[in-house]
Amino acid sequence: MHRTLEITVPPAATDALCQQLTVLDEVIGLTLARAASQKPPGDVLTVHVLNRGADEVLRRVRAAVPDRPGPEHRDQRNGQHHRPGP
């Protein structure tokens, strides 16, 4: 099974984060839409990741965007918003 995460990141962090996610074996798909998010403003990454790799993806997002309280993502299996814990 896999999850689809939709993550908004500031443009300054996008390229480095994409590189970090691309190398993960558990990431089976990665789509980038630059300037696609209006609120919060930024780029949108759609990450298809095996369940066992989801925590690592979220850790890397938090590390890439340290000035935000944490990533929000929409789990497209059930349409719910999630804010991962520490």
Q: Which two tokens stand for residue 15?
A: 């390229």
In a domain, 62, yes or no: yes
Domain with 56 in it: 2-77
In a domain, 30, yes or no: yes
* pLDDT(66) > 90: no
Q: Is the pTM of this model over 0.85?
A: no
**CATH number of the domain encompassing residue 64:** 3.30.70.1380
Overall average pLDDT of the 65-70 stretch: 68
Q: What is the pLDDT of residue 54?
A: 97
In a domain, 86, yes or no: no
Domain count, the chain: 1
In a domain, 84, yes or no: no
Strand order in the sheet with 73-75: 27-38, 41-50, 2-9, 73-75, 80-82
Q: What is the pLDDT of residue 85?
A: 46
- In tens, the pLDDT along 12-55 reads 999 999 999 999 999 999 999 999 999 999 999 999 999 999 99
In a domain, 85, yes or no: no
Q: What is the pLDDT of residue 72?
A: 53
